[in-house]
Amino acid sequence: MSDEQQPRPPRVPLEVEVTLESDHNFFTGVAENLSEGGVFVATNHPPDVGSEVGFELVLGGERFLVMGVVRWVRGERAASAGAPAGCGVRWGHLEDGALEAIRRFITVRDTDFYEED
């Protein structure tokens, strides 16, 4: 099954400043949503597709070192159409306990945003 055919993991909104670090550059932005599969980082100067990036993920007071690969980039032109410029990062290496912390965070955020009819 190709990436396009696989169902996307549920994403939850968040807004935190992040600094992505690649072999030769630093990129700053705002993480806008998070899932078990990765994170979207809004930034006007995203790393190139295929770049390996690393950063520290802090969830529930726990800190994790994570690595990922930039899978897609949305340029500044898209931002003028209402979607922020940035990049989608797929998790590559998550420090022990990080995936469980992400799952807990998603569960709590889903509960926070649930509205009864």
**Is the pLDDT assigned to residue 84 strictly greater than 50?**
yes
Q: Is residue 3 assigned to a domain?
A: no
Q: Is residue 117 assigned to a domain?
A: no
Report for 10-14, 15-19, 104-108, 111-115: range of highest mean pLDDT: 104-108
Q: Is residue 75 assigned to a domain?
A: yes
Q: Which domain holds residue 96?
A: 12-112
CATH number of the domain bearing residue 29: 2.40.10.220
Q: Is residue 6 assigned to a domain?
A: no
> Regarding predicted confidence, which is higher, 95 or 18?
95
**Is the pLDDT assigned to residue 104 strictly greater than 70?**
yes
Q: Is residue 5 assigned to a domain?
A: no
Q: Is residue 7 assigned to a domain?
A: no
Q: Is residue 46 assigned to a domain?
A: yes
**Is the pLDDT assigned to residue 63 strictly greater than 50?**
yes
With beta carbons less than 8 A apart as the criterion, state whether 86 and 41 touch: yes
Nearest to 14 by CA among 26, 30, 29: 30
pTM score: 0.76
**Is the pLDDT assigned to residue 73 strictly greater than 60?**
yes
Q: Is residue 20 assigned to a domain?
A: yes
**Tens-digit pLDDT profile for residues 10-45:** 666 556 667 777 877 888 878 888 899 999 998 888
Which percentage of the chain shows pLDDT scores above 70?
74
Q: How far apart are CA 82 and CA 80, in angstroms?
A: 5
Per the structure, the count of domains in the chain is 1
